Chain A
Amino acid sequence: MLLPKLLMLDDDLVEQIISEGIAILENPGVRVHNQEALELLANANAEVDFKTQIACIPERITRQALKTAPHEFTLFDLNGNPAVHYYGDKIHFDPGSGGLTIIDSQTERPRSPMTNDLIKFVKLVETLPQIDAQSTAFVCSDVVPEIGDLYRLYLALNYMNKPIITGAFRKDTWWTMKEMLSVVAGGDEALASKPTAVFDVCPSPPLLWSDTTCQNLIDCAHFLIPAQLISMPLAGATAPVTLAGAVVQHTAECLSGVVIHQLAKAGAPIVWGGSPAIFDMREGSTPMGAVETWMISSAYVQVGKALGLPTHAYMGMSDAKIVDTQCGLESMGSNFVAALSGANIISGCGMLDLESCLSYEKLVIDAEMIGMVKRFVKGIVVRDDPIALSLMQKSGHKGDFLTLPHTRKWYREEQYMTSEVIDRASFEGWKSRGEKSTFERARNRVEKLVATYQPNKITDEVRQELRAVTLRAANKFGMDTLPPLTQGD
């Protein structure tokens, strides 16, 4: 059976991109602003200049790291069930992350998000079956910025059951976040054997590992917590303008990440991911909705697969400022490309405005897109043999398929059943339901879904411990109390 698939590069081009990426690590090498990583590289006999903090990594070391990096791993939900399998062409979806604003459901314009917004967002993600994992979607403005990263995880852990894609903004906060995950999992070993979270680690283009992100990468390796490489070449600004050139830079940056990570702990799980974009030559912005951005992402996913690594992409997003037509068309195009490229996890649903804003309404609209693309990549399946001959001979010219058990047996497999967010009524039907726009239908569905949210199963003891860990971190930065969590949860 043919599964629909998208390949941007032929085999020779993939090989050339990989060999150029490897050659870049040899010369000019990669900038590593982290002492521990430089020592790891020096001990492995890379050519390290501790003064300029540049490491030139010979091909042998890179090839060795690719040998020890695992080809697959699984993320588990808080009940211990497998939820996201990073493997082959399997696809999963989680919301965009690191947003700074949220679209207000009433004014339809962005505003600063607060604690209750993130709680609502996490609950909403739990109720959407199309979405496989949580993300630490946005930073809450009612806590000090220094704990912005860990506070997101604290809130998410209180309300989520699905696994989570997260990330730390500082070296010390990574440890607090690891402690939280460990508290919920029941210890570091339990967390390592059934990881519930992935940490995004982002090299800076071109070819730079900052102290913070590099340390996060190494610490993840030591604790066997999966790390996700988010290389972000900006084609035409911080990376070559040619799409193939941007993919080469992405390859070099990710390869350097794999090397440092595997030197820290061979066999630790790592993901070939990214968030590249073209540089918009009019606005000077980083459009995630640009078709060329999708092409770079699709191509690097193909490179990652050729290297036998689990893959990730930041796709399914829009640059529109409100949930409008542009928002829909960019998200759908991007989701399709990502799914057809077989990225194991696709982060981006619910997100708009150049990776800076989230929307509840966009999330439930995107969930429908995801339902559609998941259906699409399952392909056209032969359910019976012969396909339809016996059925047509039996039914003759009656056209009574709606009444046949065959229809009842297969229709839910064959058709993705959309929610009321997608309008397929007749004009009169649409009219009689109040002539609602997509946004209005989505807004109604958000409220309906959030009301069905079921709390996770972590104990009160664990909740208290989580709060204590978070409060200790907050105290360090001059915050005496934490905002209260929603009553009655």
Chain B
Amino acid sequence: MINELFQKMAQSIIDGDSDVAIELAEQAVEQGTDPLEAISQGFVLGVNKVGEAFSNGDTFLPELVMAGEAMKAAVAALEPEMKKRGSERQMLGKVVLATVEGDIHEIGKTLVGTMLSAAGFQVIDLGVDVSSARIVEKTTTINANIVALSALLTTTMVKQCEVIEALEKAGLRKTVKVMVGGAPVTREWAQKIKADGYSEDAIDAVKVAKQVLGL
């Protein structure tokens, strides 16, 4: 019975169906299933399956993103029960995510957020056109492990450098890793501004995030 529920959970993620995922999460709570088990033995298996299919070229971004969205919805539905039980999902790390100041491009940044949270990172997405000060502030208050910065324009790319300098000034550079990405950003640029990680796309970002944290 419980296995069947886990299978359905995985399937709801593969189908990218947030409504069904939430329904199954609620059902699990009613049945007294451990929410952490529902995640690790149910929903996450779906995420892994979709990720694998994407890597093999059998499935594409819409499936991947919808799986990520459904995963988020399922975890959110399980959260009250986790709080009640005093249990917490073991997260891989806390990520502050933003598109830098002067740049309003969102798609790539949001994709990275979806992928990171589906993989088990706690993502705080500050949105677009975010000032260095705000990024530093958030990093401090939540004690983030990673700051991930997106920029789509060559003119705003330099802001990534500015954020890193601001983090240094605030004395955070030793405790927080910085990842950069975006169309004009290259590995060389990342090295030049002394970022810790560079990722080519949203899928790769998960790998890089794990790498910079030594996971």
Binding site for B on A (CB under 8 A): 399, 402-403, 405, 407-408, 411, 417, 419-420, 425-429, 432
Contact = CB atoms under 8 A, between A and B. Distances in A.
Given A399-B107, A417-B60, A426-B183, A405 B200 contact: no
A376 B46 CA distance: 35
A133 B63 CA distance: 32
Contact of B106 (A399, A419, A425, A427): A399
A399 B109 CA distance: 13
Interface string B123-145: 00000000000000000000000
Nearest to B187: A428
Given A428-B200, A432-B200, A403 B69 contact: yes
Given A403-B66, A426-B183, A411 B200 contact: no
B186 A407 contact: no
Interface in B180-209: 183, 186-187, 200-201
Contact of B65 (A403, A420, A432): A403
Which secondary structure dominates chain A's binding surface?
helix
Contacts of A407: 62
Interface in B159-179: none
B16 interface: yes
B214 interface: no
Nearest to B182: A426
B66 A405 contact: yes
Contacts of A420: 57
Given A428-B186, A428-B200, A429-B200, A402 B16 contact: no
A405 B16 contact: yes
B200 A426 contact: yes
A141 to B, nearest CB: 37
A408 B16 contact: yes
Nearest to B61: A402
B52 to A, nearest CB: 17
Interface of B: 16, 57, 60-63, 65-66, 69, 106-107, 111, 183, 186-187, 200-201
B118 to A, nearest CB: 12
Contacts of A419: 57
B96 to A, nearest CB: 21
B127 to A, nearest CB: 12
A445 to B, nearest CB: 11
**What 10 pairs between A and B have smallest CB-CB spacing?**
A408-B62, A407-B62, A429-B200, A428-B200, A402-B65, A403-B69, A403-B65, A411-B62, A428-B186, A408-B66
Contacts of B62: 402, 407-408, 411
A75 B106 CA distance: 50
A408 B69 CA distance: 13
A80 to B, nearest CB: 29
A17 B25 CA distance: 72
Contacts of B65: 402-403
Nearest to B19: A405
Contacts of B187: 428
Contacts of B111: 402
A429 B66 contact: no
A432 B203 CA distance: 14
A408 B63 contact: yes
B138 to A, nearest CB: 23
A411 B69 CA distance: 18
B57 A429 contact: no
A426 B111 CA distance: 16
B193 to A, nearest CB: 16
A6 to B, nearest CB: 31
10 contacts: A399-B107, A402-B61, A407-B62, A411-B60, A411-B62, A425-B200, A426-B183, A428-B200, A429-B201, A432-B200
Contacts of A403: 65-66, 69
Contacts of A402: 61-62, 65, 107, 111
A411 B65 CA distance: 13
Nearest to A433: B200
B168 to A, nearest CB: 26
A405 B62 CA distance: 8
Nearest to B186: A428
Contacts of A405: 16, 66
Nearest to A410: B62
A476 B206 CA distance: 67
Given A402-B65, A402-B107, A428-B187, 6 more contacts: A402-B62, A403-B66, A403-B69, A408-B62, A408-B63, A419-B57
A312 to B, nearest CB: 33
Contacts of B66: 403, 405, 408
A410 to B, nearest CB: 9
Nearest to A411: B62
